[in-house]
Amino acid sequence: MSDIYGAPPPEADEPEDTSVYADYVDGTDPVTHRVSLELSRTHLNIVMPDGERILWPLDEVRALKDQAYSDGVVLAQGFDDMARLKVDNPFVAKELRGVAPRLNRAQPVTNWGKIVSWAGGAAASVALIIFVLVPIMADQLATYLPPEGEQALGDATFEQIRGALGRENAAVRLCEDTDGHAAIDAMVARLDPREDLPYPIRIAVLDHELVNAFALPGGRIILFRGLIDEAENPEEVASILAHEIGHVVNRDPTRDALRSAGSIGVLGLLFGDFAGGTVVLLLANQLINAKYSQAAETGADDYAHALMREAGVDPAALGSIFQRLMDEHGDAEGIAAHFASHPQMVNRIEAAQTASEGGQYGLPVITAGQWADMQAMCGDSHQQDDAPEEPGDTGGDKIERRGGGGLGGEN
Amino acid sequence: MAFADLTTDYKGAKSAIFRLALATGIRTVITAGFYRFWMKTRMRRYYWSAIRPGGMPLEYVGRPTEKLLGFLTAVVFLAFYIGIVNLILMFFSYSLFDGNAPAYAVSVIGITPLIFFAQYRARRYVLARTRWRGIRFGLEPGVAGYVWRALLHWGLTLVTAGLYWPVKTYYLEKYRTDRTFYGDARMHQGGSWKMLIKPMMHLYLSVALLGGTGVLLAATEDPRYAPLIFLAVPWFFYGLAAWKAGSFRELTNTKTLGEARLKSSARNGRIVGIYAGGWAAMGGIFIAAAIGVSILFGIIFAATGFAVENIDEDGYLTTLGNLPAFVPILFGIITYFAIFIFWGVLKEVFITLPVAQHFAETTEIANPQALLGIRQRARDEFAEAEGFADALPLGDAF
């Protein structure tokens, strides 16, 4: 380097020893050689103690990545050569970074083809297991599981769900009013599904505002208070109950439980034991089970239609409560439909109306008094609590519903 | 000519490992776990290169894509095993025992041999991808022998309520070490299991005190014995650190590579100090962060008019300023992952790195001229990499 007058910069020391030293290993034995380095326009010259020169083309030289000592640098020639050159001098390391054009390149991946085909193989085997093998085995095993086993499975799940729906460590309250349960028993007796059932059904009502109901293994059926509030007449509750009984008869909850036991483990395998996997895992399982359930839902609907016709209760009630839910919450279609575990409601409403045609429907499913007992079984306080949460017209709706129940009794 | 012992330098830095662990941890979460093969590779490159026996850094040459490939291979086999076996176990558990506890028990027993298999294979892979002075390490094939020995020794450890632990540790380490190569030279684990009794003593005694206190309290119902628990519990944690340092020291001091020998002067007190200081630092940082976030929220809520009256009797938030519903959910998810990532990162910074540093800096190679006759060994292709260890929940042991 020189200044504009061509004289050497005054601070530059007279070169006593311009050599730069480094440690070199050749990859055949663990002997470190103290070598000196020289730089030509195109090559890094490694001068061995005996004077032998090893030339590394500068555009072949690369630095090892993610090294702890970032002031120094460990160099290699290309990706196959075993020799290494350790340069601990920060100034030299810096200069090399300036002259070696491809110092920081990453090793090219040459086996993408193999990776892609194994990925395909892994995906295919997981898909085969989750969508074919596990469902088939779950279907088979569900019918062989003894009733006591199913009941144990259902009891365990029931407590988990109650806990999960509750808040601040208190499980959701059960509505245990005797008159209300008598009304439910009367409803079940009217529908009379006994000859289809492997075990008696046990119905619990949870004090929760969700408009929902579901069946668990072993004949447990859970109704939410929100559903009873939503129904305009007892036939609608009966239609939902008949639908859930359909699930019990088809042993859907047991299949579901066995299926997720198989598929959750496999999915956990894919995403590893890290927390980011948990969310993906739950979403993926939800997707699989939702898709699976669509056939099961149609099956339960069909059962409900037949059961209600036989009992002389109009299956159209299933359509009418779905219609109202759809008006209020909209149909689940598109991507959302995959995650909602019920098939498109329009189809189900039509199916209920078709099933209703030409039937003879007599007495209401339970008496007006029993219906009032059922509506009051979780206590009245909640109805009042709910009212201020929603706009005024909902309050009016509530009164209409009560009236609707009464009218149902006079029919 | 006598060569001086080779001491080990350590070049790792807390700030650098913090940046690397944070950057790779975030990417792993964003990619739903698939970046973890890259994360592991990069973290190992760093940790290996920080350790410099005789001034020459270790090199980790494993590749992320071979880990991905190994993982995919393992998935093909394990998916079948785990899916079908879990389902059948659950079925039998409910049909025979009316509960799922037996299924979990049987499932654990069924998967145990696989875990030992994965451990040995993972070690083989890691050693085969480690070099020092340009020479590869290696582990001889021998996984079947390892699996039955591990089952036997772990079984005896369970049966003897942990008394057998040092014996198990010694024999499993000996099995692995005696099959470990540096270049063409085989390592040897000398000594005997008896040398591990002393490092274990603090654990034995503290557990005995804990158990004894429990029995005394139950038998006499005299609360005056209760303070003994406050003696036994810290002693137990001291014992854990002392075991870590002591067992490493004893096992390292009796490892030889031909005429060369390893020497360790790892200190119990230092390891205890790292753990105590590390956990205190991590706890302190998390508490400080929690306080900071609460203050920030206090300010935000005050500004947006959120108040306690907006929580109704059922505990519902009826308004949250005018925020759409997804904002708190999104915030919850981000907080969850932030805590998860930072916990992992801080553990690298305050525990893993200092422990590695202490063990490295206190390890020497005696009689290093014996190494000069060693020659390179052939590459161990090992296509499955550490796929089984990746797929099974083995934790992140190196």
Could you give the C-alpha distances from B144 to A100, B111, B187, B211, in angstroms and in order?
Answer: 48, 15, 20, 37
Residue tagged 């189900």 (tokens) = A348
Both tokens of B41, joined, read 């590779």
Contact A221, A241 (CB under 8 A): yes
CA A382, CA B143: separation in Å to the nearest integer? 64
Both tokens of B143, joined, read 């996984």
Residues of B (152-191) whose Cβ lies below 8 Å from A: 182-183
pLDDT in tens, A248-278: 888 888 888 777 767 766 766 666 554 444 5
Chain B residues within 8 A of A279 when measuring between CB atoms: 333
CA B226, CA B231: separation in Å to the nearest integer? 10
Chain A residues within 8 A of B63 when measuring between CB atoms: 107
Residue A273 touches partner B, C-beta closer than 8 Å:
yes
Give how far A233 is from chain B: nearest CA, Å.
28
pLDDT at A349: 85
Residue B397 touches partner A, C-beta closer than 8 Å:
no
Residue A229 CB contacts under 8 Å (≥ 6 apart), including other chains: A209, A211, A375, A383, A386, A398, A401
Query: Across all residues in chain A, what is the average pLDDT?
Result: 77
Chain B residues within 8 A of A129 when measuring between CB atoms: 79-80, 83-84
Q: Checking DSSP bridges between strand B255-257 and strand A213-216, what pairing results, if any?
A: unpaired
Out of A1-10, A233-242, B82-91, B214-223, pick the least confident: A1-10
Q: Is the pLDDT of residue B392 over 70?
A: no
Contact A61, A96 (CB under 8 A): yes
Higher per-residue pLDDT: B145 or A380: B145
Chain A residues within 8 A of B59 when measuring between CB atoms: 64, 74, 84
If you average pLDDT over residues A4-18, what whole number do you get? 50
Give how far B36 is from chain A: nearest CA, Å.
9
Residue A84 touches partner B, C-beta closer than 8 Å:
yes
Residue A79 touches partner B, C-beta closer than 8 Å:
no
Contact B180, B157 (CB under 8 A): no
Both tokens of B2, joined, read 């006598």
pLDDT at A12: 47
Closest alpha carbon within chain A to B34:
A271
Q: Is the pLDDT of residue A332 over 60?
A: no
pLDDT in tens, B48-72: 999 999 999 999 999 999 888 888 8
The widest CA-to-CA distance across chain A, in whole angstroms, is: 116
Residues of B (32-71) whose Cβ lies below 8 Å from A: 32-33, 36, 42-43, 45-47, 49-50, 54-57, 59, 63, 65, 68-69
- Give the best residue of A65, A71, A125 to mutate against chain B (max B CB count within 10 A): A125
- Among candidates B20, B59, B83 on the partner chain, residue whose Cβ is nearest the Cβ of A129: B83
Residue A35 CB contacts under 8 Å (≥ 6 apart), including other chains: A21, A22, A23, A24, A46, A47, A48, A49, A85
pLDDT in tens, A339-392: 455 557 778 888 888 888 887 787 788 888 899 999 888 876 444 444 333 333
Contact B386, B116 (CB under 8 A): no
Out of A9-23, A105-119, A378-392, B238-252, pick the least confident: A378-392
Confidence band of A293 (pLDDT split at 50, 70, 90): low
If you average pLDDT over residues A218-232, what whole number do you get? 87
Q: Checking DSSP bridges between strand A202-206 and strand B130-132, what pairing results, if any?
A: unpaired
Both tokens of B199, joined, read 């490092």
DSSP states along B249-313: HHHHHTEEETTEEEEE---HHHHHHHHHHHHHHHHHHHHHHHHHHHHHHHHHHHHHT--GGGB-T
pLDDT at A231: 87
Residue contact B134–A26, C-beta within 8 A: yes
Residue B324 touches partner A, C-beta closer than 8 Å:
no
Give the residue among B340, B350, B353, B343 at the shortest CA–CA distance from B281: B350
Q: Checking DSSP bridges between strand B58-60 and strand B130-132, what pairing results, if any?
A: antiparallel
Residue B81 touches partner A, C-beta closer than 8 Å:
no
If you average pLDDT over residues A148-171, what whole number do you get? 73
Residue % of chain B over a pLDDT of 70: 87
Q: In what order do the strands lie in the sheet with A20-25?
A: A53-57, A43-47, A33-39, A20-25, A84-87, A73-77, A61-63
Residue A30 touches partner B, C-beta closer than 8 Å:
yes
If you average pLDDT over residues B189-203, what whole number do you get? 95
Q: Is the pLDDT of residue A61 over 80?
A: yes
pTM assigned to the model: 0.75
Q: Is the pLDDT of residue A8 over 70?
A: no
Closest alpha carbon within chain A to B12:
A68
Q: Is the pLDDT of residue B361 over 90?
A: yes
Residue B27 touches partner A, C-beta closer than 8 Å:
no
